[in-house]
Amino acid sequence: MNEASEPAETEITEPVELCRTDGTLNPDAVGFSRVPLHTCNLSGRWGRKKRWDYWCVTSDDFVLSLTYADIDYLGLAAVWFLDRRSGETFSAGMGTPLGIGFDLPDTVGGGPMRYDHLGLDIYIREEVAGTRLGAAARKRDGRVVYADVLVALPEGHETLSVVVPWDERTFQYTSKHNTRPAIGWVRTNEESYEAGSDTNSWGCLDFGRGIWPHRIVWNWGSASGRCDGRVLGLQLGGRWTDGTGSTENGIVIDGRLHKISEDLEWTYDREEWKRPWRIRTPRSERVDLSFIPEFERGEGVNLGAARTEVHQCFGTYHGTVLRDDGSAVALEGLYGWAEEARQRW
């Protein structure tokens, strides 16, 4: 590996506010941290502010995700479930004009979130051992999903938080967590599923707070599991961070973050999403991965002025990544996802 080819990013080690008093980006906030340290004091720019907490729990048997979001003109609560054995899914979501009733904290883990309306109840709350995720969703056809999962946060566990600056008026703070052990259960009409160490269960958080451009495209990949006796997590991003001087790329090995500051090259077939993907660092050997999809989750909404198209593929990662010291870590069959999202919002 040519270590000189990888740019440097500033590491944030003390608490900092994301914005200045006039709502523009605080230059001292730009960088990454190994634990969440930013207060996301967003203000102004109505319609451009985007706030969300997205949680995804993966296991050998299922995938469960919860979304709680406020994009200024719309609040969104959603639960999605995949039975990995049968391929059957469950999806329920509700939107609220102007985000009325949605309250998201300015810091990671800064307060509880709940939505309970018209057959959809989700909650996200902090406890001593970690984050409690709960859901009770019923569809008109009688199908249900109930869930209660604790996503643990082991002492000293490192995560990846980073500020991505497009300019002083448009920027994003993201805090990505993976390899957090998940314990609990999910129930549907027909089946019960257990989350725990016996089922290779992990929780992932995508905490986002920022002021966004009207149009954006991003790639995101994440995976958690065990390889050669080590707990290994992947956090991979692309497109939306290119050219900003910041990346959301890193690997977590046994709870320790190895930051990757080089942009990633994503190669995949937009006509055939379930064909293999390739994700690599083009100027070095830090990341050289293939991703083999097992299931594609495709969703789109067109509201005229606002439009979203997301293709989230779940499957397995194969290849090698390099630690900070240049030593290689081989991975084979690490379960997670890779996605492309196109937003006009």
**Predicted local distance difference test score (pLDDT) of residue 228:** 87
Asked if the model's pLDDT at residue 169 lies above 50, the reply is yes
Overall average pLDDT of the 208-213 stretch: 98
Cα gap 115→78, rounded to integer Å: 9
Mean pLDDT of the chain: 97
Overall average pLDDT of the 123-136 stretch: 98
Q: Which helix (H) or strand (E) holds 207?
A: strand 202-211
Pairing of strands 113-117, 202-211: unpaired
247 is written with which tokens?
């990346």
261 is written with which tokens?
């500051």
Q: Could you report the per-residue pLDDT of 37-57, keeping only the tens digit for each?
A: 999 999 999 999 999 999 999
Confidence of residue 5 (pLDDT cuts 50, 70, 90): low
Residue 292 CA: distances (Å) to CA of 199, 284, 329: 21, 22, 19
Residue 252 CA: distances (Å) to CA of 177, 178, 258: 9, 8, 6
Q: Could you report the per-residue pLDDT of 298-323, keeping only the tens digit for each?
A: 998 887 778 999 999 999 999 999 99
In 3D space, the residue among 242, 105, 101, 256 whose CA is nearest the CA of residue 179 turns out to be 256
In our burial notation (b when 16+ CB lie closer than 10 A, e otherwise), range 252-281 reads bbeeebbbbbbbbebebeeeebeeebebbb
Q: Could you report the per-residue pLDDT of 245-293, keeping only the tens digit for each?
A: 999 999 999 999 999 999 999 999 999 999 999 999 999 999 999 999 9
